[in-house]
Structure 1
Amino acid sequence: MGNKCRHLSMQLYRSLINSRSLKKLLEGSASSGTSSRRGVFTSHP
């Protein structure tokens, strides 16, 4: 069970890094002028 928890936390950590880099990508694209893509993500409550 402990191994499963470690695997879950590993997935969570990896997804956190992915979302962080995704946010950087979105911010970069937004500064370029393509803010329409970011609007899709910010439209969610």
Structure 2
Amino acid sequence: MLFGENSVLALYKIDKERKDLKKEIENLKESNQKLQKEYFSLKQLEPKDN
């Protein structure tokens, strides 16, 4: 056997962590997009300086 049981478990754990991080990144990107939209909407309401 090339890999021991611990190696397989470690690979599984790393793969799951990678998938979880990828999902978190997507969630953060969506959140960032919504916050940017809100920010620019609020920015338009500010009085303009001369």
- TM-score w.r.t. the length of structure 1 is 0.71
Partner of residue 19, structure 1: 25
- 1:30 aligns to 2:36 (yes or no): yes
Q: Which 4+ stretches in 1 moved above 4 angstroms? A: none
Deviations 1:13-40 (A, max 9, x none): 0000001000000000000016xxxxxx
Partner of residue 7, structure 1: 13
**Secondary structure of the equivalent of 2:29?**
helix
* Structure 1 residues not aligned, in runs of 5+: 35-45
- TM-score w.r.t. the length of structure 2 is 0.64
**AA partner of residue 21 (structure 2):** S
Q: Which has the higher contact order (CA 8 A, sep 6+)?
A: 1
Quote the Cα distance in structure 1 between the aligned partners of 2:16 and 2:8: 12
- The number of aligned residues is 34
